[in-house]
C-alpha cells in the first residue's frame, strides 16, 4: 500500500484525503466489504476500549492475579476529582484511562491491542480524554482509530511494534506516536503535521527498554502507558502549533528500528535486565515463580 510515511503524506495531500479515509477505503477494498461493515468492525474495537476503561475506573477497579498491579486507576480518578492536579485535570484524565486499560489487561480482562496488549492503554487514554474535553462524537472517534491504524501499519512494516524485537519504544512508543498523529488529524491538522507528531512522539521515547518484572505485563508496563498518553497529547499539540521535527518521520522510524535491534536481549521483554533485574524485581519473580527462576543480573 504505502512503504513510507512520506508516500502516505504525499498521497493524502495530492488527493485531499485524510489518513482515516485512506485506511477505510483500504479496508473496504482488501476485505471486499461495505463502508458500514468496516465502521461496524472498528466500532467493536472502540466499544472494547470503552468497556475496559469503565471496568478499571468503577467500583473498586481491578487487580491482577499476582496482586502486584491494580486499583491505581481508581486512586488516580479520586485524586483528579478532589485535587488540582499538577499536570492538569485533562492530562490526568488521559492517564486514568491508560492505567485502567492496562490494569484490565493485567487482570486477564478483555482489551483491544493497540498495537499490543502491553501498550493497549495509550490510545484509549488519549481518545477518551479528548472525548470528554473536546466533545468528540462517535464518528470522530471511529475515524481517530482508523487514522491511528493507518500510521501504525507503516511503522510496523518498517520497524517493529513488539517489545521482544524493539523494546518498549516499539510498543508504547508506537502507540503514543499514532495516537498523536490521529489527534492532529481529528483537530484539523495537515497530513504533514501528523507526520511531525509521529516523529516528535517517537523521538521522545527513543531507546525505551522493555523490562517487565517477572516477565509479566504489569510492572512497569501499566505506568508506561500513562506516560505514552501524555507524550501523545503533547506531541500532537506541538505539531498543531507548527513545531516540526528536524529529523524526517521515516528516518525517526528507521532510527527506532536500529536502536531496538541494538538493545541487548536482557532489555527486550525477557524479564532479565532493567527493572526486572533489580533486587526487588528479582524478589517479586521469586515469590511468583519460585527461587529456581531467579536471575542474578543486577550489579
Phi, psi of 88 (to 5 degrees): 95, 150
Q: Do 209 and 274 form a contact (C-beta atoms < 8 A)?
A: yes
Q: How many CB atoms neighbour CB 67 within 10 A?
A: 9
User: Does residue 120 contact residue 105 with C-beta atoms inside 8 Å?
Assistant: yes
Q: What integer pLDDT is reported at residue 44 of this predicted model?
A: 98
Report helix angle 122-134 to 138-158, nearest 10. 150
CATH of domain 5-288: 1.10.4100
Which pTM was predicted?
0.95
Percent above pLDDT 70 for the chain? 97
Q: How far apart are CA 197 and CA 239, in angstroms?
A: 5
Q: For residue 293, is pLDDT > 70?
A: no
SS3 of residue 268 by DSSP: strand
Q: What is the separation of C-alpha 98 from the centre of its chain, rounded to a whole number of angstroms?
A: 9
Q: Does 214 have pLDDT greater than 60? A: yes
Q: How wide is the angle at C-alpha 161 spanned by C-alphas 277 and 203, nearest 5°?
A: 80
Amino acid at each position: 500500500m504505502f512503504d513510507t510515511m512520506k508516500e502516505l503524506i504525499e498521497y493524502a495531500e495530492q488527493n485531499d484525503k485524510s489518513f482515516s479515509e485512506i485506511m477505510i477505503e483500504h479496508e473496504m477494498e482488501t476485505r471486499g466489504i461495505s463502508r458500514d461493515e468496516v465502521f461496524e468492525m472498528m466500532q467493536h474495537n472502540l466499544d472494547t476500549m470503552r468497556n475496559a476503561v469503565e471496568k478499571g475506573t468503577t467500583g473498586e477497579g481491578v487487580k491482577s492475579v499476582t496482586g502486584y498491579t491494580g486499583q491505581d486507576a481508581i486512586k488516580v480518578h479520586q485524586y483528579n476529582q478532589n485535587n488540582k492536579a499538577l499536570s492538569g485535570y485533562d492530562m490526568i484524565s488521559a492517564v486514568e484511562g491508560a492505567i485502567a486499560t492496562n490494569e484490565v489487561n493485567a487482570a486477564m480482562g478483555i482489551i483491544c491491542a493497540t498495537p499490543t496488549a502491553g501498550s493497549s492503554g495509550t490510545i484509549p487514554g488519549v481518545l477518551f480524554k479528548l472525548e470528554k474535553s473536546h466533545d468528540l462524537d462517535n464518528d470522530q472517534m471511529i475515524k481517530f482509530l482508523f487514522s491511528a491504524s493507518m500510521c501504525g501499519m507503516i511503522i510496523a512494516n518498517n520497524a517493529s511494534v513488539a517489545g521482544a524485537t524493539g523494546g518498549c519504544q516499539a510498543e508504547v512508543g508506537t502507540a503514543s506516536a499514532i495516537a498523536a498523529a490521529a489527534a492532529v488529524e481529528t483537530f484539523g491538522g495537515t497530513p504533514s503535521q501528523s507526520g511531525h507528531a509521529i516523529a516528535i512522539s517517537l523521538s521522545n521515547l527513543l531507546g525505551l527498554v522493555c523490562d517487565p518484572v517477572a516477565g509479566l505485563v504489569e510492572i512497569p508496563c501499566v505506568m508506561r502507558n500513562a506516560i505514552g498518553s501524555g507524550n501523545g497529547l503533547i506531541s500532537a499539540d506541538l505539531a498543531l502549533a507548527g513545531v516540526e521535527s528536524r529529523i524526517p518521520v521515516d528516518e525517526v522510524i528507521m532510527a527506532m528500528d536500529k536502536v531496538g535491534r541494538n538493545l541487548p536481549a536482557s532489555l527486550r521483554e525477557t524479564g532479565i535486565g532493567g527493572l526486572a533485574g533489580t533486587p526487588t524485581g528479582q524478589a517479586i519473580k521469586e515469590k511468583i515463580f519460585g527461587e529456581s527462576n531467579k536471575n542474578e543480573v543486577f550489579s
